[in-house]
Amino acid sequence: MAAWTCCASPAMAVLELVIVAALLIVQAGAELTRVEHTPKTEGSLSILAVGDWGRRGQFNQTLVAEQMGVMGEKLDIDFIISTGDNFYDDGIANTSDPLFKESFTNIYTADSLQKPWTNLILCVLVVLGNHDYTGNALAQQDPAILEVDSRYNSVNKSFIVGAGVADFFLVDTSPFIQKYWNNSKYDWREVAPLTTYIDNLIQDLDDALTESTASWKIVVGHHPISSGCEHGNTSELVQLLLPVLKANTS
Ligand SMILES: *[C@@H]1O[C@H](CO)[C@@H](O)[C@H](O)[C@H]1NC(C)=O
Ligand SMILES: *[C@@H]1O[C@H](CO)[C@@H](O)[C@H](O)[C@H]1NC(C)=O
Ligand SMILES: *[C@@H]1O[C@H](CO)[C@@H](O)[C@H](O)[C@H]1NC(C)=O
Ligand SMILES: *[C@@H]1O[C@H](CO)[C@@H](O)[C@H](O)[C@H]1NC(C)=O
Ligand SMILES: CC(=O)N[C@H]1CO[C@H](CO)[C@@H](O)[C@@H]1O
């Protein structure tokens, strides 16, 4: 009760304002969902990253999956990050779409890719790529997908994985790509209006990078900022995402 009377004094009112401001900052930075991965006891971290994969085993998907199994065992991996375009050509239609098992569960069958490993749970962290958006993007985020395969962990369209020495910031880059905007193939539910979504995402990422105390801060997206390959540089990311990365480089 004494605290209430204290707040009547101007000095306490100022202090109260400072506290309110601090709380707001914490809230803004907390917009990106964060999940924690318990690191190995000695603190090391090994991951595999893969993208553009779901092809019902074709296009060498099975061969790559086999090698991932071999390397996964050698490196004693903690988890896998998928950078998106998980199901070709158009994502999955719903959580019971057989394509999910045909392109994921039945392909990544190696022990190292699907079992808890030295008490660490292997989970597949998924960023949505543009081919996932042309299907039912929400189906891949539906918790019901975990009943089909408990590895398939798509927490949100963008989210953070804290893993001890490293924080991974998985960023949904598809909405940045302007040529997708007016293409009726894309499922923008829970994303539109796009400019607001992008502004918030950039702010949330900036806040989260600033707050992160991990030694390594690794930002993961589907579209490359710079690339010498077919698609080339992604000008929208050069303009909007690169400055956030540069501003948070120590
Ligand atoms: C997903 O992220 C959005 C903002 O990026 C947030 O509004 C929403 O609450 C998050 N959902 C979950 C399940 O974390
Ligand atoms: C889920 O999608 C598949 C593939 O398009 C379709 O055959 C099936 O009927 C759908 N199931 C439900 C419950 O909508
Ligand atoms: C998409 O369509 C809207 C209205 O039809 C237009 O204003 C906008 O410039 C278009 N955007 C792109 C990237 O084509
Ligand atoms: C792509 O980005 C790189 C790095 O900034 C730059 O050197 C290169 O000229 C760019 N390529 C094109 C085609 O703009
Ligand atoms: C061994 C094998 O299946 N190789 C295939 C890899 O994928 C290309 C097409 O992308 C096929 O031409 C190869 O036969």
Domain ranges of the chain: 32-247
Of the listed ligands, the closest to the CA of 55 is: 5
Q: Which of 182, 183, 188 to mutate to test the pocket of ligand 3 (most atoms within 8 A of CB)?
A: 182
Question: Looking at the predicted structure, is the pLDDT value of residue 27 above 90?
Answer: no
Supply the residue whose CA is at minimum distance from atom 10 of ligand 5: 59
Question: Looking at the predicted structure, is the pLDDT value of residue 87 above 90?
Answer: no
Mean pLDDT of the chain: 81
How far is it, in rounded angstroms, from Cα 248 to Cα 50? Answer: 25
Q: Which pLDDT value is given to residue 91?
A: 85
Q: Tell me the two tokens of residue 59.
A: 């296009």
Atom of ligand 1 nearest to the CA of 204: 5
Give the 3-state secondary structure percentages of the chain, helix then strand then coil, rounded to 5.
40, 15, 45
Q: pLDDT, tens digit, for every residue of 100-135?
A: 999 999 999 999 997 432 222 334 556 677 787 788
- Domain spanning 32-247: which CATH class is it, in words? alpha beta
Chain position carrying tokens 């949100």: 156
* CA dist list (Å): 61 to 12, 18, 113, 175, 211: 63, 54, 14, 27, 38
Catalytic residues: 231
Of 4 and 16, more confident = 16
Q: Which helix (H) or strand (E) holds 68?
A: helix 61-75
- The torsion angles phi and psi of 152, rounded to 5 degrees, stand at -80, 90
Residues with CB under 6 A from ligand 4: 226, 232-233
Identify whether the C-beta of residue 209 lies closer than 8 Å to the C-beta of residue 169.
yes
Question: Looking at the predicted structure, is the pLDDT value of residue 2 above 50?
Answer: no
Q: pLDDT, tens digit, for every residue of 139-162?
A: 877 888 888 888 887 777 888 989
